[in-house]
Amino acid sequence: MSNPRIPRPFFCGNWKLWGTLSDSVALATGVRDAVASVTTADVAVAPGFVALDAVAGKLKGSAVAVASQDGYWEEKGAFTGEVAMVQIADCGASYAIVGHSERRQYFGETDETVARKAKAALAAGLVPILCIGETLPERDAGQALTVVGKQLDGTTANLRDDELAKSVIAYEPVWAIGTGRVATPAQAQEVHALIRSKLVHKLQARAQQVRILYGGSVKPNNVAELMKEKDIDGALVGGASLTVDSFASIVQKGVAACTRS
Ligand code: PEP
């Protein structure tokens, strides 16, 4: 007999800059139907902002939750172009991705701004999915653990323990995002173990409940090996979340691989 894994696995598709409104609704509906029988994991999709409301409407009452890809910390005011966490929650989203490496690389995000966004997400009733990860030069210089540890400290500095305990951490090595070059399970586990140990230091036993996702070229053919690792609790999936078949297959194979017997 198999026991459900603790923490409950979580798979989130990050659609990035993709799709029309009708593309987004169709993909969300397809994912909803394809994973309807999955009862031992949480699943979410992160459409673009303009599709957030429509996708949340289609997924309401289903097992698939909605995440935003970003969000701003102020609730209102003269911040042209920004979308507040409270507006995201009002659309029916449950999660907000913050600090994705593409936001850091192209839009000047820093650990400090990511920390403010995570805090605002929690205040709005959203669960932040906090992204951290090293670049290739940093890994090649042997600095992966130092860089990730510093990012974790910086992005969670202003969270209370109860806020940190309900957050999701996504380890996404920058060199593996969208490159087809996935971290080996051992490479990913080494960093996840560091993240877990830092969480244990702050949260003691509650740290075991925090989901630590791996992200970076996760596909149906590599998710099982990753999910067998002790501290890998799910995946943040970019490219392979853009078709129903491949994302549903990642969820199903991921769930099957991590169910303990
Ligand atoms: C991502 O965008 O978070 C990501 C992991 O992308 P990909 O799966 O395409 O590498």
| 128 assigned to some structural domain | yes
The residue segments making up the domain with residue 42 are 10-257
Calculate how far, in angstroms, residue 219's C-alpha sits from the geometric centre of ligand 1: 10
pLDDT in tens, 152-179: 999 999 999 999 999 999 999 999 998 9
5, part of any domain:
no
Q: Quick check: is 3 in a domain? A: no
Characterize the bridge pairing of strands 127-132 and 95-98. Answer: parallel
Q: To 10 degrees, what angle do helices 144-156 and 185-203 make?
A: 40
- Amino acid identity, residue 132? I
Active site residue 201: no
Report yes or no on 2 lying in a domain.
no
* 125 part of a folded domain: yes
Has residue 20 been placed in a domain? yes
Residue-by-residue pLDDT tens, the chain, 261 positions: 445 667 999 999 999 999 999 999 999 999 999 999 999 999 999 999 999 999 999 999 999 999 999 999 999 999 999 999 999 999 999 999 999 999 999 999 999 999 999 999 999 999 999 999 999 999 999 999 999 999 999 999 999 999 999 999 999 999 999 898 989 999 999 999 999 999 999 999 999 999 999 999 999 999 999 999 999 999 999 999 999 999 999 999 999 998 654
Q: What is the pTM of this model?
A: 0.96
The helix (H) or strand (E) run that includes residue 45 is strand 42-46
For residue 218, which atom of ligand 1 is closest to its CA? 8
Number of structural domains found in the chain = 1
Domain of 27, CATH number, reads 3.20.20.70
204: alpha, beta or left? (left if phi > 0; alpha if psi -120 to 50): left
Which pLDDT tens digit goes with each residue over 61-101?
A: 999 999 999 999 999 999 999 999 999 999 999 999 999 99
Catalytic residue status for 100: yes
238 within domain boundaries: yes
**Which residue's CA is the nearest one to ligand 1's atom 1?**
238
Number of other residues whose CB lies within 10 A of the CB of residue 227: 26
**248 DSSP 8-state letter:** H
Please state, in angstroms and rounded to a whole number, the distance separating the CA atoms of residues 207 and 210. Answer: 5
Residue 241 lies in a domain: yes
Distance CA 241, CA 92 (A): 20
Whose CA is closest to atom 7 on ligand 1? 238
184 alpha carbon – ligand 1 mean position (Å)? 15
